[in-house]
């Protein structure tokens, strides 16, 4: 993959970020009254949600409509798959730069690890087509990002006691479990199945190690985040029960 193929997406998402920040500050009074650090986090999540929606839709289309993928799970490339990966790479690079620039507002080591391993996996899949099926499945994980971000919006706008917060929490829990935890089963099954393919020996060892080296930390992060979601939901349920008793 040539870097210029992903670079335009970095520019586009950066433009959306700063345009949104300007428009929200100018036309949304409540937003303009928020602390500047909260404003940066807010817009960062707006852009994250836009990226997540597009990537999820494209990833779903590939898994549903691209039948050639299922005949070439180990090594495969198509225009729409490359487009999707380049979009992910471009967004991750832009968001990484934002984390550096707005270090106090949005920098988190967990996200740095996530961005690095995700971008590395996408670069390999986009350039060489290796582990295409696994990469396609992983694009679905962005679906849960929408609900994670929406939860943050509701908390920031003091809507924790609203029905929207409860509904989003339930849907977010289910979606995260489905696209980030349940998918681990077909992902790792596919990886071990690949070792029996006749094409397996043709893939350089370095790329096999990259696949493992990106999958393990990414899956570990997802399991950790899912644990945190369960903890938050458990505390919320206990708190609601306590309020009813009182």
pLDDT in the model for residue 28? 92
Crossing angle between the packed helical segments 79-101 and 132-139, to the nearest 10 degrees: 60
pTM summary value:
0.90
Q: What is the DSSP code string of 53-70?
A: HHHHHHHHHHHHH-THHH
The vertex-180 CA angle with 177 and 184, nearest 5°, equals 105
Residue 217 in tokens: 């930390």
Residues 6+ apart with CB under 8 A from 26: 32
Residues 6+ apart with CB under 8 A from 21: 39, 40, 43
pLDDT in the model for residue 110? 84
**SS3 of the chain: helix, strand, coil, percent, to 5:** 85, 0, 15
Beta bridge partners of 130: 75
pLDDT (tens digit, 0 to 9) for every residue of the chain, 246 residues total? 556 789 999 999 999 999 999 999 999 998 999 999 999 999 999 999 999 999 999 999 999 999 999 999 999 999 999 999 999 999 999 999 999 999 988 988 888 988 998 999 999 999 999 999 999 999 999 999 999 999 999 999 888 888 898 899 899 999 999 999 999 999 999 999 999 999 999 999 999 999 999 899 889 989 999 999 898 888 877 777 777 766
pLDDT in the model for residue 104? 87
Q: What are phi and psi of 130, to 5 degrees?
A: -70, 145
Q: Is 59:136 a contact under the CB 8 Å cutoff?
A: yes
Question: How many other CB atoms are found less than 10 A from the CB of residue 32?
Answer: 12
Q: Say how far apart CA 55 and CA 139 lie, in whole Å.
A: 7
């Amino acid at each position: 993959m040539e870097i210029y193929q992903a670079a335009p997406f970095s520019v586009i998402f950066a433009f959306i970020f700063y345009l949104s920040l300007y428009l929200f500050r100018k036309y949304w009074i409540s937003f303009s009254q928020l602390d500047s650090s909260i404003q940066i986090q807010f817009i960062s999540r707006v852009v994250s949600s836009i990226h997540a929606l597009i990537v999820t839709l494209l990833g779903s289309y590939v898994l549903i409509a691209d039948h050639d993928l299922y005949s070439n799970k180990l090594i495969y490339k198509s225009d729409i798959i490359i487009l999707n990966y380049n979009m992910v790479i471009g967004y991750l690079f832009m968001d990484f730069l934002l984390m550096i620039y707005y270090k106090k507002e949005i920098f988190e080591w967990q996200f740095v690890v996530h961005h690095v391993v995700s971008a590395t996996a996408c670069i390999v899949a986009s350039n060489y087509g290796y582990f295409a099926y696994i990469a396609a499945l992983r694009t679905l994980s962005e679906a849960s990002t929408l609900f994670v971000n929406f939860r943050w919006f509701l908390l920031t706008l003091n809507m924790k006691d609203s029905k929207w917060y409860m509904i989003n929490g339930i849907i977010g829990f289910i979606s995260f479990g489905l696209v980030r935890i349940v998918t681990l089963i077909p992902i790792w099954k596919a990886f071990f199945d690949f070792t029996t393919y006749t094409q397996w020996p043709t893939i350089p060892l370095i790329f096999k190690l990259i696949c493992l080296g990106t999958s393990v930390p990414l899956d570990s992060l997802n399991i950790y985040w899912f644990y945190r979601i369960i903890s938050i939901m458990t505390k919320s349920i206990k708190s609601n029960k306590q309020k009813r008793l009182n």
